Chains A and B, each alone.
Chain A
């Protein structure tokens, strides 16, 4: 284990930055190797699965495509998913808890980023 004090501060900064990005990847999809579109379709697929719509079914793909225009690089990932969920027919919504968590995450993100 190295013990150089200057290096220690550099490592601490790296630990903090990697950790921050790890949490950010969950919120924003920054580090996910799948494309944003893939993730979005997967999330929407999962969202419709709860209502009995198989993830890879035509119905789920249609749901994903129908909401795809919401994907805008200027928008936050979770905001897009959240909007899409709200626009889906209520029968195709996954569950309220998921929406509540997404809303919380978006709020936290906004608070962190400031106005």
Chain B
């Protein structure tokens, strides 16, 4: 059997490539040939379906024209040599193939569950967005009937498929982290820095953590790159220069924007700047390698995962694997799913004040922090032996007949 893993190329190597490698090894053991097939999903085009798209037009809704350009490239792929195609991020599940297994973590979210937030943040004018939403949803609807099996990364994702596409009977697929659980809590220090490991992207809301750090008096670390790294640094510089603004700035204003709030028209935050802020209490690391990230987990007293309606939440599982308690926001979607019921996490309102209070409460109560940390590690060990790839392998076999 020949299987293609179909991946839109947005630049860089992410979790899906690593997951595909694991699947490829497992399927190869069974005599299945797996090929990773990529297609360009980040290059803009000046013509779509015979219509000229100039820069002025594209700027009105870059995401829409990118989505259609990627779909057009997808349609040019010849996948006929493969028995089964495993798809990933949008729009790969729109592929023209009779046997698709859709490994789904999200739809094109700005046209679905994040549609309102996207317009509210000022990325696009509402009337333009409404037109784009209608077209994307019609295009998606016209094609998703081909999918043989929907594998969903979380209940949150399953609910989205039901809500938007009437897809019932999706199969849960819960990937385990690559980080093996540590043997014990070792030198865990509940007074260690509060840590956030996340790319700085909208709507990961790392701004909430930065602001929580600014209103707290403990140590904080933020690890991860991303297009809004400069914006988060700009905020930290603002709050370092005038700490009172950290308490008066509205939390929604800091993240629900295009990364230029309070700046003059056309201005953008500086791309460079210091990594230490607020008197050295807060470190903004930017992109680091896996070893440095794991070292940050080891230093951490608690890990904060502030994202909005996340599809899954490998950060939570990685924190558990390091035996660290977790704080998530109650609108965190997949993050909440993973955290709730473990005894290793605290769920708070999505505000800097609530996050800072939860961090301080753990720091001030080391015994409780150790309880949560122990529960985190126990959960990690309990789930480490699960065969997370089994649903995918079963679906490929079933689709391939």
Are B97 and A22 in contact, with the CB atoms below 8 A? no
State in angstroms the CA–CA spacing of A97 and B106 once bound together. 26
A101 CB, min distance to chain B CBs, angstroms: 6
Q: Decide yes or no whether A86 CB sits under 8 A from chain B.
A: no
Are A46 and B97 in contact, with the CB atoms below 8 A? yes
Are A94 and B49 in contact, with the CB atoms below 8 A? no
State in angstroms the CA–CA spacing of A52 and B246 once bound together. 66
| B61 / chain A contacts, CB cutoff of 8 Å | 11, 15
Q: Mark B253-277, 1 if CB is under 8 A from A, else 0.
A: 0000000000000000000000000
Residue of A21, A30, A95 with highest tally of chain B CB at under 10 A: A21
Are B76 and A21 in contact, with the CB atoms below 8 A? no
Within 8 A of B (CB), among A27-64: 30-34, 42, 45-46, 49-50, 55-56
Q: Decide yes or no whether B59 CB sits under 8 A from chain A.
A: yes
Residue of B nearest to A104 (CB): B145
Are A23 and B138 in contact, with the CB atoms below 8 A? yes
Q: Contacts A8-B125, A12-B131: A19 and B68 contacting too (C-beta < 8 A)? A: yes
A16 CB, min distance to chain B CBs, angstroms: 6
Q: Decide yes or no whether B78 CB sits under 8 A from chain A.
A: yes
B69 CB, min distance to chain A CBs, angstroms: 10
Q: Mark A56-81, 1 if CB is under 8 A from B, else 0.
A: 10000000000000000000000000
Are A33 and B98 in contact, with the CB atoms below 8 A? no
Q: Which size bracket describes the interface of B in this complex?
A: 35 or more
Q: Decide yes or no whether A14 CB sits under 8 A from chain B.
A: yes
A21 CB, min distance to chain B CBs, angstroms: 4
| A101 / chain B contacts, CB cutoff of 8 Å | 145-146
Are A22 and B72 in contact, with the CB atoms below 8 A? yes
State in angstroms the CA–CA spacing of A84 and B286 once bound together. 57
Interface residue count on the A side (C-beta < 8 Å): 38
Q: Mark A1-25, 1 if CB is under 8 A from B, else 0.
A: 1110001101110111111111111
Are A18 and B49 in contact, with the CB atoms below 8 A? yes
User: For the complex, would chain A's binding face be called helix, strand, loop or mixed by DSSP majority?
Assistant: helix
Are B125 and A30 in contact, with the CB atoms below 8 A? no
Q: Decide yes or no whether A26 CB sits under 8 A from chain B.
A: yes
Q: Decide yes or no whether A98 CB sits under 8 A from chain B.
A: yes
Are A3 and B131 in contact, with the CB atoms below 8 A? no
Residue of B nearest to A27 (CB): B142
| B136 / chain A contacts, CB cutoff of 8 Å | 19
Residue of A10, A14, A20, A26 with highest tally of chain B CB at under 10 A: A14
Are A14 and B127 in contact, with the CB atoms below 8 A? no
Are B124 and A1 in contact, with the CB atoms below 8 A? yes
B263 CB, min distance to chain A CBs, angstroms: 15
Residue of A nearest to B122 (CB): A1
Residue of B nearest to A44 (CB): B80
Q: Mark B51-63, 1 if CB is under 8 A from A, else 0.
A: 1010011011100
Q: Mark B123-140, 1 if CB is under 8 A from A, else 0.
A: 111011001101110110
Are B68 and A22 in contact, with the CB atoms below 8 A? yes
Are B98 and A15 in contact, with the CB atoms below 8 A? no
Within 8 A of A (CB), among B137-179: 138-139, 142-143, 145-146
Are A30 and B53 in contact, with the CB atoms below 8 A? no
A-B contact pairs, 14 of them (CB 8 A): A1-B60, A14-B51, A14-B53, A15-B128, A15-B131, A16-B134, A16-B135, A19-B68, A19-B134, A30-B50, A33-B76, A34-B76, A42-B80, A49-B83
Query: Closest 10 interchain pairs by CB?
Result: A19-B135, A21-B49, A31-B49, A11-B60, A55-B80, A12-B131, A15-B131, A18-B48, A46-B80, A42-B80
B→A interface (CB under 8 Å): 48-51, 53, 56-57, 59-61, 64-65, 68, 71-72, 75-76, 78, 80-81, 83, 96-98, 122-125, 127-128, 131-132, 134-136, 138-139, 142-143, 145-146, 401
A→B interface (CB under 8 Å): 1-3, 7-8, 10-12, 14-26, 30-34, 42, 45-46, 49-50, 55-56, 94-95, 98, 101, 105
